[in-house]
Amino acid sequence: MSKSSIRKRLTLLGTLLFATGLAFRIIEELIPYRTISIIGMIAGIILILISNFYREQRSRD
């Protein structure tokens, strides 16, 4: 598996986790899930930050 495909998958997973956490945070009927929403948002941000380490170097040509 190449670095770019790993990066794309980590970015997608991080975005989905962040969006799910944000949705749990916004919906008022899901008050018991507030801690899960914060954990989901933090995990999403961490995955997006980790995906930056899988960036391939550009050629200078």
Q: Report the alpha-carbon distance of residue 13 to residue 20 in Å, rounded.
A: 11
In the prediction, which pLDDT does 55 show? 80
Q: Given this model, what pLDDT does residue 48 score?
A: 95
Higher-scoring residue by pLDDT: 45, 5: 45
**Residue partners of 41: CB distance under 8 A and separation at least 6:** 17, 18, 21, 22, 25
The Cα–Cα gap between 45 and 37 comes to 12
pLDDT digits (tens, 9 = 90+) for 7-51: 999 999 999 999 999 998 898 787 787 888 999 999 999 999 999
| Token pair recorded at residue 19 | 């969006």
At 58 the pLDDT is 73
| Residue 59 to residues 39, 55, 56, Cα–Cα distance (Å) | 38, 13, 9
Say yes or no to pLDDT of 61 above 70. no
